[in-house]
Structure 1
C-alpha cells in the first residue's frame, strides 16, 4: 500500500463507504486532493452510486462494501455509515491493510471503539475520526489564543449544541439504541465534547454526572421537518433528545456539556465558553436562517485595564480539512501516533455519561 511522500510515489488510491451527506463530503474532498485517486465507492443506494460515480468519474462502484475492500486495491478508505457499522467496517479495512478515516461518533460504545484502536495498532495503519467542526476557523483561532497563554489556567468550561427542531431520521436507525448508541449527546454532543477538550489542551475527564430526557421524539415531534413527523411503525424512539453532563477533569477543572435535538428555544445554538485564571473566551454560532450569527470573543486585561481581543479568523475547513489532515497522517509514515486513541477517550466519556444517566449517580470514566 502507498504511504510514502516521495514526489515519484504513485497517488494514494481512495474509497468511500456510505454516500449520505457526510460521505459525499469525503468524496468531494478526495476528488479535489492532490496526489489522490478516488477509485471506489460503496453504498446500498444504486442511484447514488450512479450519480456520484458519474460526477467524479469513479469506475469502482460496489453495493457490497466487503467486495470493495477485497477488489478495489485501495490505500485509504473513509467510512460514513450508520454508527453501529463503524467498528466492523473499520476493523475489516484495517485488517485488509488500509488506512481509515471514520465519521464521528467513533462507535456505538467504547467497547466497539476499543476494537477499532486495537486493530489499528495491530495493523500498523492510521485510524482517524472526522470531527469536522474542530476544523472551523474560529475554533482554530481560539485554540491559538489558548496556546498563547493569554487565558492562563483554564479551570472551567461550558459547551453545547442545541437544536430547536432537528431530530435526524426520526423513526430510523438514528433513534434506536442498538444502532446509534445514543441520541443527541452521541450525535452532536460529541462534537462539542471534542471541541471543548481540544480547546482546553486535552485534559483527562475523570468522572461524569449526567441526565437524559426524551420529551419530543416519543411523541413523533421534533423531527427535522416541520410539525409532526411520521414514525416508522414498530420502531420505537429509544434514545434521548436532550442530555446534560457535569464532567470532572484532572487537575480539578470542570466542563458542563449540553446537547439537544429538539428544545423550546428560538433558534439553533452552538457554543464553547472557556474561563481561565487570566482571561475568558467564547466561540458561538447559530441563529435563524434569516439572521445567522458567528461570534468569537476573548476577554482579558492589559496593564490592569480590561480588554477585549479580536483574533483573526481563517476559513472553515470542515470535512475537506479533516480529509487533508488524515492524508497528511498517512503520508507521515508514523501510524503508531495516529491510532484513534483520542477518539476512544471521547467514547469512554460518553459511556460514562449514559451510565450516570441510567443510575442517577456520578460514574468514573473508563
Structure 2
C-alpha cells in the first residue's frame, strides 16, 4: 500500500512510526503548508515526494491511501477531495467540527466504496477489547450502571501568571474562536467511544454540564479568548436502559492522560483503568461478589487501528471504527454543547 501523509505536525510522527513497522506499507509522499515541518518530517522518514498543497499531491496521484492528520477543522474539506480522487482515507479524530459536516464525509465515503477509518486511539488497548468480550459474554450479567472518566492535568500544570509560559500554539485549544470545542471536542470522542465500545450499547438520551474556569483576568491572552470548556459531565441513558456518567477534565491534578471505566451488572462488575503507566482490567463476578473480591484479567495484544486500516485496504473489507461510527459520536458531542445551554435532556 502506497501511503500519502497529509499534515506533518507532532501527531504525524506517531502515525509514521506505526505505519513504517507494517509490512507492505510505503510512505511515498507528504503534504504540509509549512516548509520546515515538511522537510524535517520527510528527511526523518525517508519520504522523497514532498508537496505544499493537497491539490499538487492529488495531481501527482501515485498513492493508494491518505493518512489525514491535518488540524480538526481541515479534516472535512481535505477528506472530501481525497475521496473524490478515489483514495482510501485514515482520518484523525474528530471527523469534523460538527455532525452535519461529519455526515457529508460519511455519505461521500460510503458512496465511493472506499475504505474509511477514524483513529480512535484507545481501540489499540487490548484490555478494552477484553472488557467488551467479558461484558458480551454475560459474566457480569445485564449492565445497569456505568461510570467513565478521561482525566488530564495539563491546565493545572500551567502558571497563568507567568507570561513566559503562555507562549505557544497550545492556546488555540482554549479558544472557541480558534476552532476549539474545548475538552468535550478534543477528548470527549475518546471517552464516548471507550465506553460505548466496551458495553456494546449506544447512548440514546443525555444531558450535560460544561464548565470553563477563569485562568487570567478578562479571560483573554493576546488574540485568544479563553472561552472553550475545560471540564464536562454527561449523564447518559443507554439502549438497554442502563444509566451512567461520563466526565472529563483538563484540571485533574495527578492524571497526565488517564481513562477509567466501571461497569456494573446484576451478576458482577468490571473496572478498566488505562494510562501512560499501562492498563489494569479487574472483574468481580459470581461467588466473588459476596466477598467483594476483584481479580485481574490479562488480555492478549490486538491489531492496532493502523494495522486494521492497511488490512482493510489490502482486502477491500471495511473495518471499524469507520466514518459513520465517528459521526454518531459527534452527534452526542454536539448535543452536549446544546444541552448545556438549554439545561434539557435530549434524545439522541
TM bracket, shorter-chain basis: 0.7 to 0.9
Q: Which residue of 290, 297, 314 maps to 1:311?
A: 297
Contact 1:213 1:242 in 2 (8 A): yes
SS in 2 for 1:117: helix
**Closer, same or farther in 2 for the Cα pair 1:153/1:53, shift >3 Å?**
same
235, 240, 260: which one pairs with 1:246?
A: 235
Instruction: Kindly indicate whether residue 117 of structure 2 is the aligned counterpart of residue 128 of structure 1.
Output: yes
Task: Return the alpha-carbon distance in structure 2 between the equivalents of residues 150 and 220 of structure 1.
Answer: 53
Residue 273 (structure 2) pairs with residue 284 (structure 1):
yes
Match of 2:285 in 1: 300
The 5-angstrom pairing of residues 1-366 of structure 1 reads 12-166=1-155, 169-172=169-172, 174-177=173-176, 180=179, 182-201=181-200, 203-217=201-215, 233-263=222-252, 265-268=253-256, 269-286=258-275, 292=277, 294-302=279-287, 306=291, 307-315=293-301, 321-335=304-318, 339-365=322-348
| Alignment match, 1:5 | none
TM-score, normalization by structure 2: 0.88
Question: Structure 1 35/148 Cα, relative in aligned 2: closer, same or farther at 3 Å?
Answer: same
Change (3 A) 1:96 1:220: farther
Work out whether residues 14 and 30 of structure 1, in 8 Å CA contact, stay in contact via their aligned partners in 2. Answer: no
Q: Report if aligned partners of 1:83, 1:179 keep a CA contact under 8 Å in 2.
A: no
Query: In the alignment, is the contact (CA less than 8 A) between 1:184 and 1:243 conserved in 2?
Result: yes
Residue 305 (structure 1) shift: 5.9
CA distance, structure 1, for counterparts of residue 217 and residue 280 of structure 2: 35
Q: Secondary structure at the match of 1:243?
A: strand
Secondary structure (helix, strand or coil) at the match of 2:294 reads strand
Q: Is the 8 A contact 2:282 2:296 kept in 1?
A: yes
**What are the superposed Cα offsets for residues 130-188 of structure 1, whole Å, 9 maximum, x if unpaired?**
0111211222232232233211211221111122234894422x233365451111111
Secondary structure of the structure 1 residue equivalent to 2:272: strand
Secondary structure of 1:171's aligned partner: helix
The change in CA–CA distance for 1:310 and 1:81 in structure 2 (over 3 A counts) is same
8 Å contact from structure 1 (residues 207, 352) kept in 2? no
Instruction: Tell me the distance in 1 between the aligned counterparts of 2:177 and 2:105.
Output: 18
The alignment partner of 1:251 has SS state of coil
The number of aligned residues is: 335
* C-alpha deviation, 1:364, in angstroms: 2.1
Q: Decide whether the 8 Å contact of 2:76 with 2:101 is kept in 1.
A: yes
Deviation, 1:332, is: 2.7
- What's the CA shift string for 1:307-358, capped at 9, x where partnerless? 53322134586xxx11111112222323498751111110111111111011
Secondary structure at the aligned position of 2:335 is classed as helix
Deviations 1:265-292 (A, max 9, x none): 34344211111121111111348xxxx5
Output the CA distance in 2 between the equivalents of 1:96 and 1:52.
Answer: 24
The unaligned stretches of length 5 or more in structure 1 are 1-11, 222-230
Q: How has the CA–CA distance of structure 1 residues 304 and 99 changed in structure 2, closer, same or farther, with 3 Å as cutoff?
A: closer
Rate the CA distance shift 1:220–1:87 in 2: closer, same or farther, 3 A. farther
Q: Output the CA distance in 1 between the equivalents of 2:269 and 2:101.
A: 37
**Contact 2:12 2:69 survives alignment (8 Å):** yes
Per-residue deviation, 1:44: 2.4
TM-score (norm 1): 0.84
